[in-house]
Structure 1
Amino acid sequence: MARVFRLYFVATFVLLVLAVCPGLLQAGQKDTLNYSWSTNVGPLNPHAYSPSQMFAQAMVYEPLVAYGEGGKILPWLAESWTVSPDGKTYVFTLRKGVLFSDGTPFDAKAVKMNFDAVLKNAQRHGWLEFIAQIDSTKVLDSHTFQLNLKHAYYPTLQELCLIRPMRFLSPSGFPDSGDTFKEIKAPIGTGPWKLVETRKGEYDLFEANEHYWGTKPRFKRLLIKVIPDSDGRAIAFDTGEIDLIYGSGGHGSGQIGLDTYARYAARKDLVADASEPLATRVMAINSKRFPTNDIAVRKAILHGVNKAAIVKHIFLGVEPPADTLFSPKMPYCNLGLAPYSFDAAKAGALLDAAGWKRADGADYRTKDGKELAFDLCFVGNDSLQKSVAEVMQGDLKRIGVKVRLVGEEKDSFLTRQKNGEFGMIFGDTWGTPYDPHSFCSSMRKPSHADYQAQVGLPMKEKIDRAIGEALISVDEKERQDLYRYILTTLHEQAVYFPLSYMTNIYVHRPELKGVEFGRTKYEIPFEKMYMD
């Protein structure tokens, strides 16, 4: 009798667990791909930002044009387009037969409806110059859409590739108010996936969009489990709870720690790879705040830190060292700028010449009675940032610079980026298709760490003016010259400490096929994956 009771209890418990967590039932099935993310994917509003996760927005919503290999612009929801000789008018011929996942036809009226919704909240998208450049839109016929600009804005097509805010929600997903920035009724797009269920703190379940116009996903379902930390994600992979690890590396901010990735990459029973450089892991140095308002201090910092050792021992060679703000492979960025090499003697000489003296037996330098000390700010639970900060603290102490480490919650960290209360602070460039134009454009906005880092420069107004001119120039030579001035000046003013060129990594078992890197840092081509 006791044995029967135990069997009944176990069976009841299993059924209860499966009812509460259906992902357990689906794990290991060939029609369900199991992945993980640190949070739920959010409401997936195509015209808004956090807490919606970009990789998931890209699964549901699509652009008029897409970013291809080598920066080539590819037809997507628009089959073709023409640009007027003055560069101000774009006419897009839309792909016919496209349906939203609810069966609603995708047409020029839907495109205009989405553009109008974004323009209604244009101030919320102030970081993106493209939105400010839109003058008007027009429906020419059911599948022809016209976009009119105020100026000939050269990155128009690149910024139409972005995951947000200019992608397309079904008219049935619009709220009654029409203000999509505040809310949407449901995340309904034309993309290969549709969100069907969310359990807060547990998972998000996607299904293949049966109406998708392109190559349909091979998996019927994609279950994205909420696993907040990288160690937990590695355990889930080891136990078979998830099938795939994909994204950036690094504890706290990445899918898994780089040490864990290196361990997986050494195993012959797994498939592991790292992408080409996608963006730059960089630190901004405050040019307005004492003592980094002294250019000699900023240059001494760049010469005083052993970047090669950081790349070798912390990034484990997965991310190559970065010498400039943007990779030379980015458009307009191959300028032959001389890197700031590690040279402690040169760093010390720069500080000596600037009047920063080190008394006999003193750990740190002073000038006019003030100690050479500043705050280095990082996300407190990001162990990779913490490790880099500690190495920098040690290296700079050797040349007489005191570094106070400030590790905080993410929200407090982001507040410092916006208000400039930092000496140095971590940040990343945005990668393709944002770099360099979108990232440079955002340098003019006070709510960005880049603006706060640059605002003390005597030529800040000239830099901002050059950025604005580069974005609307129709002369390619002029545009190249403007970018050369902008990036050379920032490099010579030592406003940035480039650490490494960021990569995406993936790890999976051999039976999972079709895994490849997306066109940008934020896109994961789940639709190409299948189980052998």
Structure 2
Amino acid sequence: MRRSRLLISLAVALSAIVLSTAVWAQESSKKTRVVYSWPSYAGPLLPHMYSPSQMYAQRMVYDPLVEYEEDGSYSPALATSWDISPDGKVYTFRLREGVEFSDGTPFDAEAVVMNFDAIKANEKRHKWMDLVTQIDGWESVDEHTFRLTLKNAYYPALAELSLIRPFRFLSPSAFPDDGDTSKSIKAPIGTGPWMLVESKKGEYDLFKANPHSWRGKQDVDEIMVKVISDPTARALAFETGEIDLIYGASTGQIDMETFNRYRSMDGIVTGLSGPLEGRNIAMNSGRFPTDDPSVRQAILHGVDRKAIVKHVFLGMEYPAETLFAKNRPYCDLNLKPYVYDPKLSAKILDKAGWEKNDDSPFRKKDGAPLTLDFCFIGTNALQKASAEAIQGDLRKIGIDVRLVAEEADSYYKRQKSGEFGMIFSSTWGAPYDPQSYCSSMRIPSHADYQAQSGLKMKEKLDRSISEVLITVDEKERADLYRYILTTLHEEAIYMPLSFSTAIKVYRECNLSDIPFRPTPYDIPFERISLPKNGI
């Protein structure tokens, strides 16, 4: 009897599980889910902090006051409009009414103040962005009006308020008890179009559409982000139907050969964005032998950069002749490019006293060999291939380039310490370029500061950068940028290689479209449109 009751109980339990599973499957079939992939898990999603939180995910969950658009303008987000005082120091934002965080907590000026309090409390961490140090005060004027006061007229204020971090907004209910969002939060609760509902570190992150989103209904209910670190494995997952969408930096999601193969396949839609970040090589003006401007100029004329873009980047990036793309504000200066001309390189080196003899293929000056270290991340195939091509070109003009392949951590330490002759670097693209990137040149946190350290006008350059960020005179601003960018160009501090791109790949039976945004980390999943029959 006891055994019979046990069997009956087991049968009932199994029936309940089957019924529950059937109901779940029926409900799930009504939902639209797009499966995407990223090399690592989304992270803790602290809205005001950096790695390991992933930018694409922070953008999904948290909203800014204003959004940067492709044409360089700013559109309303959590602020519907804003006024700037005549002296450029006071910004008054009218906040969108009726907005709620994903947990139903009202979004208002007090919530904005609370988030600004947390950001400013950790000011030291954000000093790469001048806006943080320019802030003089902030206040709630009324329920839907927020006022920000600056020490100086800082013209990039809207640009930096639009960034994915740190000026995004966490629900007051999700703040830790001590208010310090730099260490932890109770939950990633924002006003953004998506909510992070489930994570399994190393496997996936599941986002669901925020029912409280002020943006309105969207085509897709869920975004499943699978953790796939290897580009080859990602391509295989797409081909087997495990993921629906490949989107992001052209050098990160899949290899370029695979993308070009997809371009020619029926039923697969591919897209390539316009120019984004500037990929370049920084040359150290404070370290022998690149402390000699003649060496730097000879290097620029001695490398066939267009051939690298064609053969290494397979034509998927745009050739660069300047540090910033010409479509960035204040950057179209008609600077004379350093054309590929090995004979001119040889003349420059000869004139500067770098002699070549039969004893060695490499030049010397006063007995010192023309040898320099070129540092790159050893696991980055594109950096490795580019470095080898550059090494080969410079060998032809008598420059000995020693390739130094390192782990990422060691590589970034070299950028900060200045222990390099040449090293890969890149600008940050819109909306950071040129103002935020130039601002960071004054701080030894990237390769730029060290690369410029030997310039006799370094102090004037830094002073000009400080001035350009706070001037309200448009002509003065343009003149200052002309001086800054022309000086860096003529001093041959950077070897521009290319302007990166973003890609998208999907099957036309699964998606109708997803637009590009100004940066590869700004993935507008909520703007995905689906075919009429859905996924």
Q: Could you state the TM-score of these two structures normalised by the residue count of structure 2?
A: 0.93
Runs (5+) with no aligned partner, structure 2? 1-16
Tell me what 2:158 maps to. 157
Match of 1:426 among 424, 427, 434: 424
TM-superposition CA deviations, 1:10-39 (whole Å, max 9, x none): xxxxx9xxx9xxxx9999996111000111
TM-superposed deviation, 1:210 = 0.8
Aligned equivalent of 1:65: 66
Residue equivalent to 1:514: 513
Matched ranges for 1:129-140 at <5 A: 129-140=130-141
In structure 1, what is the equivalent of residue 207 of structure 2?
Answer: 206
* Preserved contact between residue 94 and residue 145 of structure 1 (Cα < 8 Å): yes
Q: Which stretch has the larger CA shift, 462-471 or 64-73?
A: 64-73
Residues 186-244 of structure 1: CA distance to partner in whole angstroms, max 9, x if unpaired?
A: 11110000111111111111111111111333222111111111111111111111101
User: Which residue is equivalent to 2:391?
Assistant: 393
Cα distance in structure 2, aligned partners of 1:52 and 1:27: 29
Q: 1:380 to 1:401 in 2, by over 3 A?
A: same
Mean alpha-carbon deviation: is it higher for 348-357 or for 100-109? Answer: 348-357
SS class of match (1:70): coil
Partner of 2:301: 303
Partner residue in 1 for 2:86: 85
State the SS of the aligned residue for 2:445.
coil
1:225 match: secondary structure: strand
Structure 2 residue aligned with 1:468? 466
Q: Secondary structure at the match of 1:375?
A: strand
Q: Does 1:227 align with 2:206?
A: no
From 411, 424, 429, the counterpart of 1:413: 411
Shift >3 Å, 4+ stretches:
24-30
Cα–Cα, structure 1 residues 467 and 384, in superposed 2: closer, same or farther, change >3 Å? same
CA contact (8 A) 1:191 1:209 kept: yes
Q: CA deviation at 1:158?
A: 1.1
Report the equivalent of 2:339: 341
Q: Structure 1 counterpart of 2:437, which letter?
A: F
Quote how far apart the aligned CAs of 1:268 are.
2.6
Does the C-alpha gap of structure 1 residues 84 and 226 become closer, same or farther in structure 2, counting only changes over 3 Å?
A: same
Residue 282 of structure 1, CA deviation: 1.1
User: 1:494 corresponds to which residue?
Assistant: 492
**C-alpha separation between the residues in 1 aligned to 2:272 and 2:76?**
28
Q: Displacement, 1:159?
A: 1.0
- 2:120 corresponding residue in structure 1: 119
- Give 1:214-363 correspondences, 5 Å limit: 214-250=215-251, 254-363=252-361
Q: Distance in 1 between matches of 2:259 and 2:28?
A: 23
Q: Is the 8 A contact 1:30 1:531 kept in 2?
A: no
Q: Note the C-alpha offset of 1:528.
A: 1.5
Shift, 1:121, TM fit: 0.8
- 1:451-481 per-residue CA deviation (whole Å, 9 max, x = no partner) reads 1110111100000000000000000000000
Equivalent residue, structure 2, for 1:94: 95
Q: Which moved more, 1:486-495 or 1:354-363?
A: 354-363
The alpha carbon displacement at 1:411 in A equals 1.1
Compared with structure 1, are the counterparts of its residues 366 and 195 closer, same or farther at alpha carbon in structure 2 (3 Å cutoff)? same
Alignment partner, residue 6 of structure 1: none
Q: CA deviation at 1:447?
A: 1.5
Q: What is the DSSP-based 3-state SS (H/G/I as helix, E as strand, rest coil) of the residue aligned with 2:516?
A: coil
Contact kept in structure 1, 2:31 and 2:222, CA below 8 Å: no
Match in the other structure for 1:3: none
For 2:70 and 2:226, how far apart are their aligned partners in 1? 30
SS of match in other structure, 1:347: helix
Three-state SS of the structure 1 residue aligned to 2:94 is strand
For the aligned residue pairs, the C-alpha RMSD in angstroms reads 1.8
Where 1:500 maps in the other structure, the secondary structure is strand
Q: Tell me the CA shift for residue 335 of structure 1.
A: 0.2
Give the conservation status (yes or no) of the 8 Å contact 2:373–2:404.
yes
Cα gap change, 1:25 to 1:126, in 2 (>3 Å) = farther
Q: Measure, in 2, the Cα distance between the counterparts of 1:394 and 1:480.
A: 39
Cα pair 1:218 1:529 within 8 Å, conserved:
yes
Whether the 8 Å contact between 2:197 and 2:208 is mirrored in structure 1 is yes
8 A Cα contact 1:192 1:216, kept in partner: no
CA contact (8 A) 2:198 2:207 kept: yes
Q: Counterparts in 2 of 1:9-88, with a 5 A limit?
A: 31-88=32-89
The one-letter code matched in structure 2 to 1:180 is T
Counterpart position of 2:9? none
Q: Deviation of residue 182 (structure 1)?
A: 1.5
Q: Is the 8 A contact 1:217 1:526 kept in 2?
A: no
Aligned residue pairs, count = 509
Residue 269 of structure 1: CA displacement? 2.1
Contact kept in structure 2, 1:26 and 1:32, CA below 8 Å: no
The AA in structure 2 aligned to 1:228 is: S
Equivalent-residue separation in structure 2 for 1:103 and 1:199 (angstroms): 25
Following superposition, the deviation at residue 361 of structure 1 comes to: 4.7
| TM-superposition CA deviations, 1:134-163 (whole Å, max 9, x none) | 000011111101101000111111111111
- Corresponding residue SS for 1:411: helix
1:32–1:223 contact (8 Å) kept in structure 2: yes
Alignment partners' CA distance in 1, 2:86 and 2:288? 50
Partners of 1:101 and 1:188 within 8 A in 2: yes
- What is the aligned-residue identity percentage? 59
Distance apart, 1:358 and its partner CA: 1.2
For 2:311, the aligned partner's letter is H
Matched residue type, 1:453: A
1:521 Cα deviation from its structure 2 partner: 3.1
Q: Give the Cα–Cα distance (whole angstroms) in 2 for the partners of residues 288 and 29 of structure 1.
A: 62
Task: Give per-residue Cα distances to partners, 1:239-274, cap 9 Å, x unaligned.
Answer: 111101101122xxx111111111111223210010
Answer whether contact 1:304 1:399 (CA < 8 A) is retained. Answer: yes
Report the Cα distance in structure 2 between the residues aligned to 1:25 and 1:394, rounded to whole angstroms.
61
Name the aligned partner's letter for residue 242 of structure 1: I
Q: TM-score, normalising length from structure 1?
A: 0.93
Q: For residue 395 of structure 1, what is the amino acid of its counterpart? A: D
User: Helix, strand or coil for the counterpart of 1:425?
Assistant: strand
Preserved CA contact (<8 Å) 1:300 1:346: yes
Secondary structure class of the residue paired with 1:91: strand
